[in-house]
Structure formats: structure tokens, C-alpha cells
Chains A and B, each alone.
Chain A
Amino acid sequence: MMGRLLNTRTLPLLATVVVFVLIYAVCAAQYPAMLGLRVLGNLLTDNAFLGILAVGMTVVVVAGGIDLSVGAVMGLTTVALARLIEGAGLPPLAAFALVLAGGALFGAGIGAAIHVLKAPAFIVTLTAMFLARGCALLISTDSIPIHTAGYDALAGAGLALPGGGRLTLVAGIMLLTFIGGGILLHGTRFGARVFALGGNAHFAQLMGINTRSTTILVHAFCSLMAALAGIVFSLYTRSGYALTGTGVELDAIAAVVIGGTLLTGGVGGVAGSFIGVLIQGLILTWITFDGTLSSWWTKIAIGALLFVFIAVQRLILLASTRYGRSGAGPGAPTTPHPAASTPVARSSAPGAAAPSAP
């Protein structure tokens, strides 16, 4: 059934897939080398940190929130790792466990603040962003290289792909994160709670959902992913630097939106975000292949794409409310009164006037 396949939830994702295929086709037509597994492997490795961030961001956005602190948390993680390993001499794995736990705690604090203060996630995570970036710069303003032998081994680990490419450890971690995030969001009771929270927090509460624990867990997960992205980035660069990841929270949000997750919450998924990340990576790769364009063109292309996607989502939403069900949506008034008598409220309460039979 067409209606089943093309509803408000699947259409944006479908559009994303189409755009990805189109871009890939254009790239491949122009530079056949881009079809190879080597390029694909690099694409995954280069964007591993962004993908991991996007998984956490997807969960937050589906829950109806946003997290602007992930880039700063990632930066803090890299510099903290460098300090712990190079300064304190901790084995890398212990340092990883430490920063992951710290990240989760940091996120839980963000979630608790959002819930308790009833403050917009935007403001709370903006605060967290400054906090994390400030802490990172306090630890060190310089880039700290990580020389430990084990670290190089981890960073270099990977599977050889046919055609000369490699599936590195960090790329593998990213792929596993997406699979894990998908199961979490679409397969567990927790995931259902996240969708419920993003659909309508008040209704979710009326239906017995604990919105406090859900908000806290959602943000804890997102910051955990940011810390994991920090680990991956430090493996990728073998160093820690406080200004790492400046602005990548916005790249992650862009990937999530391009992937068809609605910023209003309640609709979306990690599969779309994965493609959103790949589209960004692909555009950058294409510009690299071209060699004459400034890499800042990526930003312009992403901006244009984002705009198109937001417009498409909006149009789909408008179309579905116009031709879709007529029903008492949220806020339909019991008795129409001036404040509620906007066209929206009117159209959402048809038949509010009981017809008088002769």
C-alpha cells in the first residue's frame, strides 16, 4: 500500500536515501575511483566520530530535545585522555572506562537539570558546552600527543578490505554504535519511552511514562556517545586537544535532520542519521577529489541540503495534516473560545458542533 510506505515517517528517510544514491552516482560517474572500497573505508574512518555523535544526537532529538554540548564533551574527552595516559600513566583501556563514565555522568546531570529546572534543552546544553570546553582548556591549551605503544596498535588495528582499503577499528566502533543505537531506539522498552517522550511529553506522563528518568537517561546516553566519539577521535589523531570538535555538534544535528528525524521529536531513527553522515562525508570526499574547490564548499552544500530537507519535511507535514485524518489533535478545545479559535484548533475539532437533526 502506497500510503503505508509513504507516510510522514518513512518519506523523509526515503528522500535521504534517494539523495545519497544520487550524490554517489554523480561522484562515481565523475571519479570512478570513488566507487572503490578504499574510498569507502576512508569515508567510514574519517567520519567515525561524527557518526557516533549522530547516534547519541538522534536519540536526544527523537526524545524532543537537542544537545549542543557534544562537540565540547568530545574535545574534553580527547584532552582528558591524553592527560590520563601521558600524564598519569594510566593504561589506555582504564582511561577509556574513566572518560566514558564521566561522559555518562555529565549527560545525566544535563538531563536532570533540564527536567528539574523545566529549562529548554537548548540553553542547558549550551551551558554544558561552555562548561566542558572551559574545562578542556583548563587542562591544556596545547595539543598533547599520545605516544604509548598500545595506543598506536589500537589506532592502527583494522581489517583489510579487498581493493586496498581498510575497515579500521574506529570505523568498526562506529558501525557497532549505529547497530546498538538502532536496537536501543527501535527494539527496547526504553526506545519506546524515548519516542513517547518526543511525541508529547505531557501525554507520555499521563500514560505512566517516567519522564524524569527518561530525560536523564537520554542525555546520559548522548554524552556517553560524545565521550566515545572523543576516544575514537583521539585514536584517529593520536593526540588530545581542547579545541577538538568545535562546531561538530551542528554537523551531528545536520546529519540527524538530513536523516529524516524531526527536530520536533517523536519521529526518526539512526539509519537515516547514518546516511546523513555519509552524505556529508561524500560531499567532502568529492571536493577533495576535485582538488580545486575550497573544502568550505562542504558547508555550503550541507547548508543547502539541510534547507531542502527542512522544507520537504514541513511540506510533508502540511500535506498530511491537510489530507490526513481529521481528529481532535492536542489542544482541541472543549468549548471553542477566542484564544483557541485559531484555524488549527478549528480544523482539529470537527463535529464539535453536534448536528441537530430535524
Chain B
Amino acid sequence: MPQTETPVVLAARGLTRQYPGVRALDGVDLTLRAGEIHALLGENGAGKSTLINLLTGAQRRDGGTIIVDGMEIDPDGPGGAVRAGIAAVYQEITLLPNLSVAQNLYLGREPTRWGLVHRAAMNRDAGALLRRFGLAIDASRPLSDFSTAVQQLIAIARAVDLSAKVLILDEPTASLDTAEVQALFTLLRTLRDQGLAIVFVTHFLDQVYALTDRITVLRNGRLVGERRTADLPRLELVSMMLGKAPTAESHLARRPATSAGTGAPLVRAEGLGRRRLVGAFDADLHAGAVLGAAGLLGSGRTETALLLFGVETADQGQLMVDGKPVTLRSPRDAIRLGFGFCPEDRKLDGIVAGLSIRENIVLALQAKRGWWRRLSSAQQHELADRYIKLLDIRTPDAEKPIQLLSGGNQQKALLARWLATDPRLLILDEPTRGIDVGAHAEIVRLLEDLRDRGMALYVISSEIEEVAAYSDRVLVMRDRAPVGLLEGDSITPAAIVNAIAAEHHTGGAA
């Protein structure tokens, strides 16, 4: 490296963390230098959160070492990490709105006089501390009086005041507006110049290039690489994040272009959007065709599905079903129209963990029928057995709690839930996420089979190769707005990556 290297503050080597059935982090290295802002990037499930949790002591590592200033540390909680000089600030402000700003800053280490908290001194110190962070506010007021942006600066002031070596910022800009982002960046640059090592997690690539000196990319719990920001073109960065060299040929065969999706669409979204959620997008969903949606995390790809399924209500544009305008006010409306939705986070939004496979499968059909027309026990068993066989769900029997299945089999059970309702349109958000690589192909085959049977599919995925292989059209999203629609033979993994990475001025950073 031609540049002079600043001293290493934190060196993590071979960090590993195992969850039941998943290796969330697998031998990851991270090197933080004094006076540098280091971007930590990766898609959902890449292992960013796990890495941060290991550094801040929220979780214990199963393997690897963390060395701070030459000393190995093993934080067993936020306190231990703070003592070692590592503090984190999250997008979600983890301060206490019911306390005053000063109390938040000095909680647990309040200045005392005669055994009592010396409130005046505390407020005075807090005011002085905040002024160094560019905040001229009355620290005796409750935290809840201030905006998210100010609260975030207060959180940073607290973190730096507690432990001025490593500051981890997890998506700090996600709820800030442009001016607030600028103020935050100014502060971060000042802190960097004072010699702090800063970890910056974001999904706004513009901000990465505007602010950071170095980038570490994770993917599927593994380290993809560490590069200087200045030496890493945007296209290459996106390729690293999505795990696909933009020039390489796809190993998945793309099916020849068909006439599918040329007639009148089953569902058509015209300029559908919702303020602050996702910009207006068009989508045509045809029976027997797949519309793919590609984009990075935070690009608005999931939000399109939320609008199409009525989880969020659109405040602009029009949704047409069978050529007639409809308004979706809730998922119930969507289900009545014959839509189905497998959400991204199975554990959170999809499976009902404690219920059996059978109960999970019949859930949507039962909801569609209305609870007073209960499916008989025999019908339920018949349905469950049919789909377990049809989708090859590997389980000894239908009464096993669904949480005991592997990710791939849970995903199949979720698919079965919607297939049981015989949907016309099935929306899938990251259907292959968190599933063994072997099971990927199985899910993809299943989707293709459904398409061939005449179902309309809308598939959101960060697996670019898979999207390219099965889609008839691909909607590309970036910064919560559509940036392109690829059709027919123009759909290649390289073309999708190019569309995502194309340099466009966006408000996220500038």
C-alpha cells in the first residue's frame, strides 16, 4: 500500500458464531485502524449484525480472537465491551426517552455530592460535552423532547465519552433526512480526525463512498474482502455484496424466452407507491410468468411486495386486477383476490413456530374461508399430507412443530400454506434466503413448476443468478425507487448488477 497505514486499534481474526442449524459467522476477519471510517457491508443474513454483536459483547463468539490495542478481549456484555473501548450506536435509539439528556449521558456514573446525584454539575458537564459534539441544547430536558437526529448525536456523544477507541454505528442514517445526515457526517469526520476508529454500517452505497476510507464486505457469514474505498469501483462492490462477478457467465441455464406474459396481465400496478415507503413503480404480472425484483437491501424491493399484498396501502397509483381497478386496504383484501405472500423473514412474519406443520399449512386457507367455516380434522390432515408429499417436505409427520424443520423445509411449508389457497398470484420475498445451497435449486424448481402450471409469480431475491434464470421480466430497484425493467434476453446477472450499481446521483448521501 502506498499510503501510510495508521495503527490498528482492533483486530478480529477468524470470528465464528454458530446458531442451531446455521453458521451465522464463519471465520470472519475485521481490522479497524485509528482515524479511519470503515464500512461494513453485506446483504441480509451476511452476518453484519452477528459480527457487531460479538464485538459489543451482546453475544459470545464460538471461535476466533478479538484484539484491542494488543490485548485480547472477550466481552460478556455491553459493560465489558465499553471497558475495552468499544461502543455501539444503533439506528433504533437505545437511550431512555423518560430520562433527561444529562441523565442519559451519565447513567450509572452520575457526579455525586454527599452521596446524592449532583444534578447541577451533571447538567453542566452534559452541556459542555454536547457542545463538543456541536449540540447547543438544554441537557436537563427530557430526551423525548428532541428529534431522532439529535438523539442519535446524543447517543454518539455518550458512546464516545464512555469509550473513545472504537465506535460502531449500525445504520445510523436510516431515519435521518439529508441535512441531518450531513451534520452526522461532519461529526463523524471530526471524530475520525481525532483518531477514533469508526465502523459504519449502511445500505446506502452513496454514503459509503462519501464517508468511508475502507470497506469490509460480508456475504452468507463469510468475509468476501477488505478494500480501500478509493480503490473499489461501485460495480465491483455490488458484485462483492451479491457474490457474483459481473462478467462471469451464469451457471444456471436461462430458459428460452417464451410467449408467457405477453397477453393481458392478471395484475397490473400503474405508478403504485407510498410516500416515504417506496416510489411509484409499474409492474405487470401475467399468469404463467415470473416477474423478478432485484436490488440491494433497503432498495425498496420488499416494499413493493407490501403494497401488492395490501400490508401497506398505496397513496398513489392504481392497482388493476383482471383489468378492473382495485384498492387493497389489508392483506385480507389481497387474499380474497387470490394473492399469496411468503415474506422475507420466515421466523418473524411467516411461520407460527409453536404450531404443527399441519396447522401452519391450513392457516391461510382457513383464514380465507372464514373462521366459522372450520376445516374438518380429516380435511386438514388430507391437505397437509398432500402438500408434504407434493413439495417433498422432509418430516416424519405433519404434527411435528414447524420450528423443528430446517429452513428449506419451513419455506416449503410456507409455500404449501399459500398453495392450499390456490392463489392466482404468489408473491415471494427472498424464498431462498437462509436455506442450504442444496435446497436452493429445489425451491427454484418448485417456482418454475408453479409458473408452468399457470400461476403468476412475483419473486424478490438478492440471488441475482436465480432471478436471472427464472424471470420473464426483472424489475430493478434502488434507493426505494425503480431504476430499470429488464426483459427477455437482456436479463443476465451482469445486466442486473450493472443496473443496480449504475452511478446515479441520489439523495441518500449528498
The residues of A with any CB-CB pair to B shorter than 8 Å are: 4, 7-9, 183, 187-189, 191-193, 195-196, 198-200, 202-209, 266-267, 324-332, 334-339, 341, 346, 349-357
Contact = CB atoms under 8 A, between A and B. Distances in A.
B96 A203 contact: yes
A339 B147 contact: no
A182 to B, nearest CB: 11
Nearest to A325: B147
Given A339-B348, A341-B312, A354-B507, A204 B96 contact: yes
A188 B300 contact: no
A33 B137 CA distance: 51
Given A189-B112, A335-B302, A337-B349, 10 more contacts: A192-B107, A192-B110, A199-B97, A203-B95, A206-B78, A324-B144, A325-B145, A330-B92, A335-B298, A338-B343
Contact of A193 (B108, B144, B300, B480): B108
Contacts of A187: 116-117
A127 to B, nearest CB: 25
B302 A355 contact: no
Given A353-B276, A353-B278, A327 B108 contact: no
A335 B203 CA distance: 10
A114 B348 CA distance: 27
B506 A354 contact: yes
Contacts of A335: 44, 297-298, 302
Contacts of B145: 7, 325
A209 B115 contact: no
Contact of A325 (B98, B146, B277, B345): B146
Contacts of B175: 327-328, 332, 349-352
B306 interface: yes
Nearest to A355: B507
Interface in B83-117: 91-99, 103-104, 107-108, 110, 112, 115-117
20 contacts: A4-B141, A9-B98, A189-B117, A196-B103, A196-B107, A207-B96, A208-B107, A325-B144, A326-B147, A327-B93, A327-B148, A330-B92, A334-B92, A336-B306, A337-B345, A354-B204, A354-B506, A354-B508, A356-B481, A357-B507
B94 A354 contact: no
A357 B505 contact: yes
A224 B107 CA distance: 26
Contacts of B331: 338
The 3 closest A-B pairs by CB, nearest first: A327-B148, A357-B507, A266-B98
A289 to B, nearest CB: 40
B115 to A, nearest CB: 7
B134 interface: no
Contacts of B112: 189
B375 interface: no
A7 B142 contact: yes
Interface string B160-191: 00000000000101111110000000000000
Nearest to B311: A338
Contacts of B144: 8, 324-325
Contacts of B148: 325-328
B433 to A, nearest CB: 13
Interface string B420-445: 00000000000000000000000000
A323 to B, nearest CB: 12
A203 B99 contact: no
Nearest to A350: B276
B82 interface: yes
- A188, A198, A328 pick with most chain B CB within 10 angstroms: A328
B174 A352 contact: yes
A9 B144 CA distance: 11
B344 interface: yes
A356 B93 CA distance: 24
B108 to A, nearest CB: 5
A216 B2 CA distance: 58
Contact of B98 (A198, A206, A341): A198
Contact of B91 (A192, A207, A208, A334): A334
Interface of B: 44, 78-79, 82, 91-99, 103-104, 107-108, 110, 112, 115-117, 141-142, 144-148, 151, 171, 173-178, 204, 275-279, 297-298, 300, 302-303, 306, 309, 311-312, 331, 341, 343-345, 348-349, 479-481, 505-508, 510
Nearest to A321: B144
A339 B107 contact: no
A351 B96 CA distance: 22
Contact of A353 (B147, B300, B302): B300
A214 to B, nearest CB: 11
- A9, A349, A351 pick with most chain B CB within 10 angstroms: A351
- B98, B148, B506, B510 pick with most chain A CB within 10 angstroms: B98
A325 B116 CA distance: 32
A349 B147 CA distance: 12
Nearest to A354: B508
Contact of B92 (A9, A328, A339): A328
A266 B92 contact: no
Contacts of B312: 336, 341, 346
A266 B99 CA distance: 8
B92 A356 contact: no
A231 B66 CA distance: 56
Contacts of B341: 338
Nearest to B95: A203
Nearest to A333: B92
Given A208-B82, A336-B303, A353 B277 contact: yes
A8 B144 CA distance: 10
B311 A206 contact: no
Contacts of B279: 356
B170 to A, nearest CB: 8
Contacts of A327: 93, 146-148, 151, 175
Contact of B311 (A189, A341, A353): A341
A229 B298 CA distance: 57
Nearest to A262: B98
A266 B144 CA distance: 13
Contact of B348 (A199, A202, A337): A337
B278 A199 contact: no
Contacts of A206: 78, 94
B479 A356 contact: yes
B177 to A, nearest CB: 5
- A7, A183, A191, A356 pick with most chain B CB within 10 angstroms: A356
A352 B107 contact: no
Contact of A328 (B91, B104, B277, B345): B91
B432 to A, nearest CB: 17
Nearest to A357: B507
Contacts of A328: 91-93, 148, 174-175
A127 B157 CA distance: 44
Contacts of A346: 277, 312
B108 A337 contact: no
B96 A266 contact: yes
A336 B146 contact: no
Contact of A207 (B78, B344, B481, B505): B78
A166 B125 CA distance: 47
- A188, A195, A338, A357 pick with most chain B CB within 10 angstroms: A338
Nearest to B207: A354
Contact of A336 (B151, B277, B479): B277
B108 A189 contact: yes
A332 B91 contact: yes
Given A188-B117, A189-B117, A336-B277, A200 B146 contact: no
A207 B107 contact: yes
A334 B90 CA distance: 10
A132 B178 CA distance: 59
B95 A207 contact: yes
A352 B94 CA distance: 17
A199 B276 contact: no
